[in-house]
Structure 1
Amino acid sequence: MVVGDGLTGIEAATEIAEARPGLSVTLIARGRLGARLSAGAGGHLRQACDRLGITVLEHTSAEAVEATRVLCADGTALASDATVWTAGFGVSPIAAAGHCRCPAPRPATPQRQAIEAIVGRLTGRKIAATKLIHNCNLISLGRRDGILQTIDDEGRAKPKHRGGRKPARIKGHPQDGAVGHLAPHLRHAQPQAPPGRRP
């Protein structure tokens, strides 16, 4: 059982189903499966789930996980030998107490962004919002299938997508994608000490 139909949940369910075809894999989606994808990419995702034999439970809210079952908001208990939780999670008590509003993603770790948001909120410092630094999401649907979904500056799906082997190859072999183009330069990069410090 995989709870959550975000990118991580989709990849977990499809990769488990492909790697272990004898297992019964269920994906729980709070809303419509692929709701954050374009119509074409959503259709490709549905075909992949059908091909892999994944049971999709749409409009289902999981509330708790026990040793042998998942409890849903409507009172349904779903039997599960193993559960992968990829759904959202609650706000940290520290962030909630600070009434933080996180800025848009920046080229820093989420932890760094959270720290900057908390410090900014507590000190009155303005937190600069920036645009997303990528223009697509790569979604693995197993080793031989995937979706490249173009997105706008707000992270919303654009109509254009590509499905099939090529996105799977890019996702599975980063040397074929952007990271691969940077690799030769990274091999010769020298570590730099932070400003004001000597190595």
Structure 2
Amino acid sequence: MNHHPHRIVVLGAGYTGMLAAVRLARRTRKLDVEITLVNPSARFTERLRMHQIAAGQELADHRIPDLLAGAGVEFVQGWATSIDTVGQRVLVDDTTALRYDTLVYALGSSTATDIVPGAADHAWTLNDPRTAHRFSEQLAAVAADGGKVAVCGGGLTGIEAAAEIAENHPGLTVTLISGSRPGAMMGDKARAYLNKALDRLGVVREIGHAVTKVLPDAVELANGELVAADLVLWTAGVRVSPLAAQAGIETDARGLIVVDPGLRSVSHPNIHAIGDAAAVRQPWGQIHGTCQSGLPTAAYTADAIARELRGKQVKPFRFGYFHQPVSLGRKDAVIQFTNADDTPGRFHLTGRVAVKYKEAVSSSPVPTFKLSRKLTMSVQLSKDGKATRAAKG
């Protein structure tokens, strides 16, 4: 019988997929392992910075093959179109079959525009850099005419985008539309600071009514009110890839892969799910998809697979949140420190100190990828050590 190396395929080269692939290569370099990373685009997308592109800033263009140089990971550019769990193959672009012994599923989430009529036709999203860039060009034209922009969704992405757009284009009227109050997950003091910053930037808030329809030139609210808008940016609602559910892998109601304490699929143990694609339960509750929790799932999974291949025991994944960092334009920010379950803690930071802090903890992960090719980095992007120990009790 022909021996073949242990084949690991990583689907998705976002924050979590990139880190998992590079760290796996580093952890398994003395083993007989082949690692392949699959992604539709050769450009690495910094999802956390899309609102900056949308507001008109140019970001560094990082190419996935360059980030992988010397790591020992093969890059395949294309869409994963189906997974055959019996034959252990992934089909890429309906033509290329990649065999796997272990699959790491890191197909994150995107903004769902199918919840509200008209959103898919008339609203922009921050789902990819090209769209965000085109939005920024439209924005400049609308700003030149003193026009109006509506940002739908009062979560962190919506807040950051509204602040960034208002700061970059003072001539615009920016309206943030949200069913609940922006910063609802923060403590009172941090939320008060957030609101003051939005006032300073001139961001109008339309709170308490759901969006029922997006029109070519306005947003319709549940109370019948129309908010005029030359451009609409949609940041509400999350959609995950249907690939796992279509392949018969067990998923929850939202399409996330149901995983065991070691982040393996409960129905297919040779499939590991990380980041936004996994339904991860902790003693305090379920993790919600963010970079803060995503990178630790990637590092943990890379280490766990390497341990398994060496026949060693793997401890369960443990994670606790410890902060909610929010940019308010380039010169201001607010950081709410949290308990492990992401409820607000006693402390918060604001202003320049918060900006410096946010740059330190959630700056680009690219240096981490580059360093991870040569040494095993401690994933302190989420500073999850302290919070995790606390969560363990």
TM-score > 0.5 by shorter chain? yes
Match of 2:328 in 1: 141
Match of 2:7 in 1: none
Q: Deviations over 1:142-179 (max 9, x none)?
A: 111101111222222223111111222343x4xx3376
Please tell me whether the aligned partners of residues 334 and 349 of structure 2 are also in contact (alpha carbons under 8 angstroms): yes
1:100, 1:141 → 2: CA distance? 34
Superposed displacement of residue 33, structure 1: 2.9
| Pair 99,73 (structure 1): closer, same or farther in 2 beyond 3 Å | farther
Match of 2:105 in 1: none
Match of 2:153 in 1: 4
| Pair 179,142 (structure 1): closer, same or farther in 2 beyond 3 Å | closer
How large is the Cα RMSD of the aligned pairs? 3.5
Match of 2:214 in 1: 65
Higher strand share: 2
Match of 1:196 in 2: none
| Pair 185,141 (structure 1): closer, same or farther in 2 beyond 3 Å | closer
Correspondence list, 1:31-110, <5 A: 31-89=180-238, 100=252, 108-110=274-276
SS of residue in 2 equivalent to 1:161: strand
Superposed displacement of residue 108, structure 1: 2.3
Correspondence list, 1:143-162, <5 A: 143-162=330-349
Correspondence list, 1:158-169, <5 A: 158-169=345-356
Partner amino acid, structure 1, of 2:200:
R
Match of 1:123 in 2: none
| Structure 2: segments with no counterpart, 5+ residues | 1-149, 264-272, 280-315, 377-393
Partner amino acid, structure 2, of 1:110:
D
Correspondence list, 1:109-124, <5 A: 109-111=275-277, 113=278
Match of 2:4 in 1: none
Superposed displacement of residue 132, structure 1: 4.0
Alignment pair present for 1:18 and 2:167: yes
| Pair 191,67 (structure 1): closer, same or farther in 2 beyond 3 Å | farther
1:100, 1:65 → 2: CA distance? 29
2:217, 2:362 → 1: CA distance? 42
Aligned residues: 173
1:59, 1:181 → 2: CA distance? 36
Q: Deviations over 1:98-122 (max 9, x none)?
A: 6715569x792213x16xxxxxxxx
| Structure 1: segments with no counterpart, 5+ residues | 115-128, 193-199
Please tell me whether the aligned partners of residues 132 and 155 of structure 1 are also in contact (alpha carbons under 8 angstroms): no
TM score, norm. by length of structure 1: 0.72
Moved more, 11-20 or 31-40: 31-40
1:30, 1:168 → 2: CA distance? 27
